Chain A
Amino acid sequence: MTSSEIVPTPPGIPSAPASEAAGPPGTFTGFQASRYRRALLLLSAVMVVMSLVGFLVNGRDPQIRAPLRAGLDFRGGTSIQMELACHDPGPCTTSQRLRLPVVRSVLADVQLEPTGDRQPAPAPSSFNVQLLDDGEGILLRSTALTIVQAQAIEDHLATTESLAPFQQERTQVDTIGPSLGAQLLQSALRALGVAFLGVAIYIAFRFSPLNAALALGALLHDVIIVAGLFAWLGQVWDVQVGSLFAVALLTLAGYSVNDTVVVFDRIRETDRLQPQLGVIDRIDRSIAASLVRSLNTSVTTELPILALAFFSGGELRWFAVALAFGIGVGTYSSLFLAPLLLGLLKKDKDMA
């Protein structure tokens, strides 16, 4: 066991000169996170507040009325995605590309048969129409349609002569009934709750309840900020959140806690090996020792996710974006936020 561990400056991070507060001069030349405590805490506070503002803005938006713009999975509805035949190999000529007014007028001609005994069919003119790939594809969203209704729309678009031919092999239709949507939302929320609780119990068992509370706090911080980003994305670009977003949050939960645990583990080891140092000092050393590892791990995890974001489309791409952003935030919070707060709380306890 080395009791005189020397922690060098990690490459790329400017070394902070040893200060009086860190102990006798010359003993420690690592990165001292506690010196930037104010700035780091302020950064977290700003991001959390911005996220909360995003939730509020969405909640007041009559079209959303929820903190996040719920997708098909959670709200129920039908989405029909079609692609022009000329898209592959592409590109389509200007005259072939779809234009919104034309598509809308074509849609207005569709006659849909009624949904059930009493319910009338939804009006195709009320559909949300989006063009994809510069008008080489189209995405329709509506309230839940029956199979017959969805097929009628698909067939109508495919046979209308004023539109370029579609490739039916590339059509994707998704319908989620409203009752199933509510059920999916509920099970996603329950999964999040159970996962948080399970992780908290494990950490409380392996470390201490204080550590568990902090790891969970860091996790909550990450989840709020990622959800906040998507609140703003929903406001600005109509990005919707579905089951995959819930999966991203859960994965993030695992990752963020994993990261926090690694730092806590290091703090515990430093506490044991160098008990002569002050609380803040021990935590600073542990952060510095974990820094390179945490950054390297983030980068190695981010690379495949970026590859995923680059190669995939649609919902899966936003899933990758949520993960990529979340891992950045998660690395930051587990490296700085949780340990710094641990230092503050422990210091108070020591003084009391």
Chain B
Amino acid sequence: MVRQGWLPVILAMVLAAAVLLGNQSLQLGLDLRGGHQLSARVLSPDPQVALTAADLDGVKNVIQRRIDGLGLAQTRIQTVGSDRVVVQLPTVRPAPGEGAEAEAVGDDTLQQAANQITKKAVLQFGVLRSSEVNRYATLVQERRNAQIAVLLGEQQLEQLQRSRGDGEQRRAVREELEASRTIFDQLEQDIGRLFDLRPLTGDDLVQVVAEPNPESQGEYYQLSLTFSGPGGQAFADLTKEVAADSNLRLAILLDGRSISEATVGPEFRENGITGGGARITGTFTLERARELEVQLRGGSLPYETEIVEQRSVGATLGSDNVRRSLSAALVGLALVGGLMVLIYRLPGLVAVAALAIYALFNLAVYALVPVVLTLPGIAGLILSFGMAVDANVLIFERIREELRSGRKLYQAVETGFSRAFSSILDGSVTTLISCLALGYLGSGLVRGFAITLGIGVSLSLFTSLVCSRTLLKTSLFLYPGLRRIKYFQPVQ
């Protein structure tokens, strides 16, 4: 009775899944929660210049900063495929107990966001005006405070969301966070205004690389910049000017917001930094250096972006979709369960239990990964109910055959499971191949479907083979009264 060892494992997994679902909420896609989605395609004006993944990251980062500047909550920005950036502006749904209306992103904001996405990034270099040195110091202090406020707010919100804390409190934290973000963005712009622009822009920047700083034995990171010929000259002039006064700073401005303000050492007073190359050193962590690298690259890219997709779903329509797909899933489960009991009697009942475990595990995996649930995703889940049962149908038909050929009950159950195994495996593998093809090559909606169906098929291997077998054998073992052929097949 080695197999019986699975029972505690299954029970523990069910418990773990239930606890997980109790503590972590599922993420809903735009079509279920309402909101806007904009996809931008990044175009290279010169067909010779190919868009690399690093370039796309740069563009994404530029867009991310601009959207954050709008002060919207729960925005999500991702790169998709080789040339697209997708921006999602969901309806902010109040948690139960938050006692507020769902806040939809207004049409004006949508237009603003679209403008921010298609605007070409501008990277500029400037020198601090000597009259603003004191004001600069004050603003830098304020910016540091604002940055800390944003980080704290993000942490707090994440904690509250994980613990499903008080709705009122969460709302307050979220509003505060949005305010901090706006303040931070404003401060970056204010600081940017303290600098006089010089004739050097992102177009002159040829290469940006974040790398370990050799002098710090790899503890800190630095950015090395390479300029074009004329750009190198302009940079030399610029650094010469800044080196003249130790209070002055050289700022790099992205879309008018300062992303870096560096000093230039007195040794460059004579000629500035010549040769077209420079390093920005400091106590940069790898993360911070990478961020700057991506920002600088984003600002120096020659790419244009155009909006190729807009999807807007009203908030009520989203909750309608949730209600409908929930009904479809429950009715689908009930119908399948009813039919199984009708056809297969006791094993059918066991299959229903296995199916319930299956549904629970699926949701737990969604919460764990996490999978963003969309309408096609739920369709994939519903479809996989039928497929999950398929394995049980195969097994139970086999058990009946074995019974008819005169085997003892227990032996029939055992043989049924082992003989059905190869068809179940083949069937699952072929479905998984389709899912993989869909997941790799499909677009957003298609991928959602492929992911849920793929998770479903993999999980169903476990629930239909291990769970139903264990449950069936355990119930036969514990309740000898069940060991009757009539519980396995209809009287003929």
* Residue among B385, B404, B446 with max Cβ neighbours from chain A (10 Å): B446
CA distance A129 to B50 in the complex (A): 41
B431 contacts the other chain (Cβ, under 8 Å)? Answer: yes
Q: Which residues of B contact A88 (CB under 8 A)?
A: 316
How close is B440's CB to chain A, nearest CB, in angstroms? 8
Known contacts A6-B404, A262-B423, A265-B426; A177 and B434 CB within 8 A of each other = no
Q: Which residues of A contact B315 (CB under 8 A)?
A: 169
Whether B328 pairs with A301 at a CB distance below 8 angstroms is no
A261 contacts the other chain (Cβ, under 8 Å)? Answer: yes
Residues 204-218 of chain A: 1 if any B CB is under 8 Å from the residue's CB, otherwise 0?
A: 001000000000000
CA distance A173 to B423 in the complex (A): 45
Interface size class of B (residues with CB under 8 A): 35 or more
CA distance A198 to B107 in the complex (A): 45
* Residue among B34, B393, B432, B445 with max Cβ neighbours from chain A (10 Å): B393
Whether A261 pairs with B376 at a CB distance below 8 angstroms is no
CA distance A290 to B333 in the complex (A): 24
Task: Give the residues from 95 to 135 in chain B that come closer than 8 angstroms, CB to CB, to chain A.
Answer: 104, 107, 110-111, 114
Whether A257 pairs with B430 at a CB distance below 8 angstroms is yes
Residue of A nearest to B317 (CB): A170
CA distance A269 to B313 in the complex (A): 53
Residue of B nearest to A304 (CB): B332
Whether A188 pairs with B442 at a CB distance below 8 angstroms is yes
Known contacts A147-B110, A297-B393, A308-B382; A180 and B309 CB within 8 A of each other = yes
CA distance A293 to B419 in the complex (A): 14
Whether A180 pairs with B317 at a CB distance below 8 angstroms is no
Whether B386 pairs with A151 at a CB distance below 8 angstroms is no
From A171, A191, A302, contact of B442 by CB (8 A): A191
Q: Which residues of A contact B152 (CB under 8 A)?
A: none
Known contacts A174-B310, A296-B393, A323-B383; A311 and B375 CB within 8 A of each other = no
Residue of A nearest to B429 (CB): A202
How close is A193's CB to chain B, nearest CB, in angstroms? 8
B258 contacts the other chain (Cβ, under 8 Å)? Answer: no
Known contacts A169-B314, A247-B376, A308-B328; A194 and B339 CB within 8 A of each other = no
Whether A169 pairs with B317 at a CB distance below 8 angstroms is yes
Whether A199 pairs with B430 at a CB distance below 8 angstroms is yes
Whether B431 pairs with A254 at a CB distance below 8 angstroms is yes
A150 contacts the other chain (Cβ, under 8 Å)? Answer: yes
Known contacts A173-B311, A195-B433, A304-B336; A312 and B325 CB within 8 A of each other = yes
From A172, A187, A190, A301, contact of B386 by CB (8 A): A301
Known contacts A247-B442, A300-B389; A195 and B325 CB within 8 A of each other = no
Whether B405 pairs with A6 at a CB distance below 8 angstroms is yes
Whether B308 pairs with A147 at a CB distance below 8 angstroms is no
21 A-B contacts (beta carbon < 8 Å): A5-B405, A6-B404, A147-B114, A167-B316, A177-B41, A177-B307, A191-B437, A191-B440, A194-B437, A198-B437, A243-B442, A243-B446, A257-B430, A258-B431, A304-B385, A304-B386, A305-B332, A307-B327, A307-B335, A308-B379, A319-B376
Q: A residues touching B (Cβ–Cβ < 8 Å)? A: 2, 5-6, 8, 88, 146-148, 150-151, 167-177, 179-180, 184, 187-188, 190-192, 194-195, 198-199, 202-203, 206, 243-244, 246-247, 250-251, 253-255, 257-259, 261-262, 265-266, 289, 292-293, 296-297, 299-305, 307-308, 310-313, 316, 319-320, 323
